[in-house]
């Protein structure tokens, strides 16, 4: 989901022809292309197939495949893992475990949906988006004959906010507004896309997560991007109501 406290412009329609920001380059290579992702401050995240994930010590995340207690907790938390293949399930769990172990949070329940108070759990939002998105995708398939690849669709829904534990704080954070330093270095969605690219997720998963935020410079023109957009906003507006904030659909300007 977008960083709600600081939207930039209207949500708008999908614009796949729009030019990507220069600091987003390197994420959008076709699936199967060896990726060298070099963010604006020079960190080198190398492809997973050579076994080196984060070449520099200041990388925003570390791939964690060995945290058994965390893996069990993530597997018990995430809704929809039974809808994907065993290989994809393992990658999804590894992505969330890596984000968790690279974050300051000791417990999944401590992770915030949004920067600063009031608090709404990210864990709840993720499952709410996944359930709503699966319902929407099934409706699209039944009513419009849309073909759904469930490995792709569920990966996108479950992982759309995988970078939030690295970006948001429940307290004032380093900038006094509930954000980490990384939040001011790379946009929400892009950090998650870097992690997913490094784990070998398909290009469609990587690019949809990278561009799903409402303040992204453009959005994907795919059924998965369409479904994620409305599932995410539907769940986000529920969170806004619970937190006593104005839902996105009631905002003006």
Residues 85, 140: Cα–Cα separation, whole Å? 22
* Average pLDDT of span 115-132: 96
Residues 80, 155: Cα–Cα separation, whole Å? 9
- C-alpha 111 chain-centroid distance: 14
Cβ–Cβ < 8 Å for 26, 198:
no
Lowest mean pLDDT among 27-31, 102-106, 125-129, 151-155: 27-31
Tokens for 188, please give them: 């929400």
Residues 173, 149: Cα–Cα separation, whole Å? 39
115 cis-preceded (ω within 30 degrees of 0): no
Cβ–Cβ < 8 Å for 218, 18:
yes
CB burial readout 65-80, b (16+ within 10 A) else e: eeeeebbebbeebbbb
Is 121 strand, coil or helix?
strand
pLDDT higher than threshold 90 for residue 215: no
Residues 167, 136: Cα–Cα separation, whole Å? 28
Query: What is the pLDDT confidence band of residue 236, given thresholds at 50, 70 and 90?
Result: very high
Beta strands in the chain (DSSP E): none
Query: What is the pLDDT confidence band of residue 253, given thresholds at 50, 70 and 90?
Result: low
The domain limits of the chain are 36-245
What is each CA distance from 104 to 12, 91, 166, in whole angstroms?
A: 34, 22, 8
Lowest mean pLDDT among 52-56, 83-87, 156-160: 52-56
Based on the number of CB atoms within 10 Å of its own CB, is 122 exposed (0-12), middle (13-18) or buried (19 or more)?
buried
Q: How many residues can be counted in the chain? A: 253
pLDDT digits (tens, 9 = 90+) for 124-160: 999 999 999 999 999 999 999 999 999 999 999 999 9
List the one residue out of 242, 238, 236 whose CA is nearest residue 5: 236
């Amino acid at each position: 989901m977008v960083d709600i406290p600081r939207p930039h412009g209207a949500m708008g329609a999908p614009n796949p022809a729009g030019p990507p920001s220069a600091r987003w380059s390197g994420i959008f290579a076709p699936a199967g292309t060896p990726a060298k992702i070099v963010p604006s401050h020079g960190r080198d995240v190398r492809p997973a197939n050579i076994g080196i994930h984060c070449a520099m010590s200041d990388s925003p995340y570390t791939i964690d495949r060995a945290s058994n207690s965390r893996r069990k907790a993530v597997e018990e938390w995430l809704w929809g893992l039974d809808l994907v293949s065993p290989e994809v399930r393992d990658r999804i769990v590894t992505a969330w475990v890596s984000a968790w172990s690279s974050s300051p949070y000791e417990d999944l329940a401590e992770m915030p949906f949004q920067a600063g108070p009031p608090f709404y759990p990210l864990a709840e939002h993720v499952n709410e988006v996944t359930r709503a998105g699966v319902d929407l995708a099934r409706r699209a398939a039944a009513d419009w004959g849309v073909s759904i690849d469930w490995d792709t669709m569920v990966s996108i829904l479950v992982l759309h906010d995988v970078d939030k534990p690295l970006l948001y704080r429940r307290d004032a954070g380093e900038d006094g507004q509930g954000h980490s330093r990384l939040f001011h270095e790379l946009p929400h969605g892009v950090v998650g896309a870097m992690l997913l690219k490094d784990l070998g997720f398909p290009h469609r998963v990587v690019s949809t997560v990278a561009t799903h935020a409402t303040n992204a410079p453009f959005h994907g023109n795919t059924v998965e991007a369409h479904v994620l957009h409305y599932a995410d906003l539907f769940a986000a507006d529920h969170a806004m109501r619970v937190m006593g904030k104005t839902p996105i659909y009631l905002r003006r300007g």
